[in-house]
Structures are given as C-alpha cells and as structure tokens.
Amino acid sequence: MKNLSRGLRASLKSFVCSKVSKMKEYLSHGGGVNSTALMILLKNQGIKFESIFVDHGGDYPETYEYINYLQKNGYLITILKPDVEGCSTIEEYCHKYNMQPLRMMRWCTDKFKLRVIRDYLKTPCIVYIGIDDGEKHRAFKKPLKEGVVNKYPLVELGIDRMMCKKIIRGSGLEIPMKSGCFFCPFARKSEIQYLKQKYPGLFERRKQIIYNAEKAKGKRHYRVISDYIK
C-alpha cells in the first residue's frame, strides 16, 4: 500500500468508516487484477470478508496458479465447484448439450458463476464486486437475490485498472493475467494466438467446443475456424 496516494488512503478510510454493518461480507473473486486489488484494499482496511472463487474449469492455468499463489501468501479464498445438471465444468456442459458460450447470451456466466455464488451466499450480506472505475457501466446491477447488497468500492473510490495494478504491486504481489475462459467468445485475436502457442491442447479443446456446437446446428462457423487454421 506504499504507493497509494494520501488522498486515496483518506477516501478509503472514510469509505470504511462510513460502513456500519453486521452483515456477512463476501468478495466475488475472479482471479484477475481488479478483484485482487479489491481484496488487498479490503484486507488492509480490516474488513472481515470471505473471498469466493468459482472453479468452473474454464480459466487459464495462470489464473488457477494465481489463486493458489494468493492462498500461499495468506489470502483465504473459498473455492466453489459448480454442479449444473450434473456438469462441474462449462466445457463438460458444452459437450453434453452441443453448446458453446455466446456473446449475445451469456449462459456460461449465469449458470456457472452467478448461480453458484447466489446459492452459496448467506443472506443478509454484502457482496464486494471488483469492477474498476474505467468499466463502471458494468456496475450497479441487480443483486443476485433478496437480502444481498452489492458494493463497488473501486468505482466508488474512482480506482481504475492502472491504480489496481499499483495496489497489487504495492502489496508485494505479482500482477495476475486478465481472467477469462480459454474458450471465451470475447477473447481477442491476440489472446487466441497466445492460447494456440502456449497451450495447444486447450486451443484444440476450444476448437472442439465450437466445432461440436456448430455441427449440431448443421452449420460450420467458418470465420472462427479459419482464424484458427491460419
């Protein structure tokens, strides 16, 4: 926390002081930069909370290693395992129903993250969500269920991604890679290229998910497949 400006420290202090709650508090941890920075901030402010991470099997190996690394560095994180219609991973579910995660319909997030967290939460409670100030349009969504209060401290304190990285470095921890699934439809081309080079096995599994889903619909996804074949 050495690198934090005095102004930010003061804002943090007043943020915490203004919060009087006897409710159970959770941090939804995605294994990436923002939720890690938020975890450090909350811990350093003496807030008692439980970090929860959903292991749906789709994250990059780096993300799982990072969660492990945080645990080894004294950050307690509860790992939740989904069970969605008998499937513990998104990949398994994709193969079972010949589906793929889609940009327009984020069933993957809904079934394998949000519902798992929702079922775990004991209400009434506060859930801290690591959305940074640069993506505040994604914040202030409806809570997962009645009795849940969502909190977005990074947005409330005007902390952007750069500041998040500063907070992580300031605490002596390494910066995690951007979290996301290896078969995510939102992956940029550079991310797919990284996957292909570093994890050819995962890359093939990504292809297989898309291929099965497209085949089941009786068509081929030429654009995506040709991106891979180049």
Q: Which of 43, 95, 106, 136 binds ligand SF4 (CB under 6 A)?
A: 106
Q: Is 93 left (phi over 0), alpha (psi -120 to 50) or beta?
A: alpha
Q: Which stretch binds ligand SF4 (CB under 6 A): 106-114, 120-128, 137-145, 169-177?
A: 106-114
Beta bridge partners of 25: 126
Q: Which of 32, 101, 130, 176 binds ligand SF4 (CB under 6 A)?
A: 101
Phi, psi of 46 (to 5 degrees): 75, 15
SS3 169: helix
Is 180 a binder of ligand SF4 (CB under 6 A)? yes
Q: Which of 52, 184, 195, 210 binds ligand SF4 (CB under 6 A)?
A: 184
The stretch near ligand SF4 (CB under 6 A) out of 33-41, 66-74, 159-167, 176-184 is 176-184
Q: Which stretch binds ligand SF4 (CB under 6 A): 70-78, 143-151, 162-170, 181-189?
A: 181-189
Site track for ligand SF4 across 53-82, x = CB under 6 A? -----x------------------------
Decide: 192 and 227 in contact? Cβ < 8 Å.
yes
Return all residues near 169 (Cβ < 8 A) that are at least 6 apart.
Answer: 3, 175
The tally of CA atoms less than 13 A away on the side-chain side of residue 125 is 21
Q: Which residue of 186, 198, 216, 226 would you call a contact of ligand SF4, by CB under 6 A?
A: 186
Q: How far is the CB of 101 from ligand SF4 (least distance, A)?
A: 4
Taking CB under 6 A as the rule, does residue 95 contact ligand SF4?
no
Site for ligand SF4 contains 109 (CB under 6 A): yes
Q: Which stretch binds ligand SF4 (CB under 6 A): 8-16, 17-25, 103-111, 196-204?
A: 103-111
Query: Which letter, b or e, does each residue of 147-172 get, where b requires 16 or more Cβ atoms within 10 Å of its Cβ?
Result: ebebbbbbbebebbbebbbbbbebbe
Q: How far apart are CA 35 and CA 186, in angstroms?
A: 19
Rounded to whole angstroms, the Cα distance separating 181 from 165 reads 21
Asked if 130 touches ligand SF4 (CB under 6 A), the answer is: no
Select 12 or 99, whichever has its Cβ closest to ligand SF4. 99
Q: Which is nearer to ligand SF4, 153 or 180 (CB)?
A: 180
Cα(96)–Cα(93) distance, rounded to whole angstroms? 5
- Tokens found for residue 220: 């081929």
Q: Nearest CA to 80 among 116, 115, 51?
A: 116
Nearer to ligand SF4, 176 or 180 (CB): 180
Which residues here bind ligand SF4, judged by CB under 6 A?
58, 101, 106, 108-109, 113, 180-181, 183-184, 186
